[in-house]
Structure 1
Amino acid sequence: VGGQQCEARTNAEKSKTLARSFFPPKPTTPSVPTNHTYPPPINYTSTVTQEQITCMIGKLKPYKAAGPDEVSNSVLINCLDILVDYLYFIFSAIPRLNAYYDGWLEWITAVLRKVGQSRYDLAKSFRPIALLCMFGKLFTGMLAEDVVFVCESMNFFLPTT
């Protein structure tokens, strides 16, 4: 970790070593420029549609590990016709009521071995994955698509060459 080699014998020591490897310390200087002039805020409210929900669920891979809510992708995929109306009303209420369910902010960080490593006694031979709550992941995925759409339509992105 950090160029140092040390031997971790207990699970607690191994956990600390992996945590330091996966989550480096915060930078000492902020990356946000000081005294930056931001453009005026735009007047935009996110709206959720049943088509968006259907599209987001359609992008899911069925056999992925579930997060702490234990809702599997395959349940959403196979029960879409039953769930889409309920999800529509739940997701529509979030921006309207300015409320978000705290349970959707929970996640599980699982540690996986990197394939093809010659030594698994080194912290760099492992990688973390985040298992998120499914409904929160769906909602934030739709919100992210919304943000990209608005930014593109307002020409907020620099042109690519």
Structure 2
Amino acid sequence: MDPNEIWAANRLVSGPASDGGRARVPTLSTRNATTRAVSEAITNEEKSAAFHKEFFPPKMNNSSVPQDPVYPEPAYEWRPISDDLLHRVIAKMKPYKATRAGSFPNCVFIFNAHLLVPFYGAIYRALDALKYYPEGWNHVDSLVLRKPGKTNYADPAAYRPICLTVGDARVYHAVKTAQLATQAELARILPKNHYG
């Protein structure tokens, strides 16, 4: 190793820590809907607030749910999750969708469903029977990605959020959603030609 290489290595080792080339969100410009005045979001806190306003609608001032609602009789009888439904839901999952760090990606469930379904089916049925929801499953990591092809990345609308969830919770939610949608269709709760 020659002296120049040693000097370069020393400079890299003793230099300040960096973020490894992490993408930086540029200064964002937001327009007030009533005054039409443009304001800039420069700090991370201001950018976070601009993204929050763009991605999430404001809370309603008044709830549309009556104070003392009277619910009709259930339209269908609740049934536990079946292993067959669990197999069908896992088969429809996208294999390489990202999950939270430390949790199983979808491909683990897809390629090992024959091994996992007997265990996960029993666990999910027990969660329903005990009316228990694991604490960490409601935690979601939200990331902001640029929408490709946009000309102005100073506009918060040029970005989109993605949510990283726990893999186990993702399967559970997908099964419960499929179960609810199937029962709602069979009980004719949804209007005809309902989209979604």
Aligned to 1:109: 142
TM-score by length of 1: 0.86
Is 1:70 matched up with 2:85? no
Q: Specify the code of the residue in structure 2 equivalent to 1:91.
A: Y
| CA shift for structure 1 position 38 | 3.4
| Contact 1:68 1:108 (8 Å CA) reproduced | no
Distance 1:84 1:35 in 2: 41
Aligned to 1:45: 78
Is 1:89 matched up with 2:122? yes
| CA shift for structure 1 position 5 | 2.5
| Contact 2:143 2:162 (8 Å CA) reproduced | yes
Q: What are the equivalent positions in structure 2 for 1:1-150 lying under 5 Å apart?
A: 1=30, 2-3=32-33, 4-32=37-65, 37-42=70-75, 44-150=77-183
How big is the alpha-carbon RMSD for the aligned residues of Structure 1 and Structure 2? 2.2
Show structure 1 runs of 5+ residues with no match: none
| Contact 1:69 1:134 (8 Å CA) reproduced | no
| CA shift for structure 1 position 72 | 0.9
Q: Specify the code of the residue in structure 2 equivalent to 1:149.
A: T
| CA shift for structure 1 position 109 | 0.8
**Between Structure 1 and Structure 2, how many residues are aligned?**
161
**Which has the larger Rg?**
2
Percent identical pairs in the alignment equals: 29
Q: Specify the code of the residue in structure 2 equivalent to 1:89.
A: A
TM-score by length of 2: 0.72
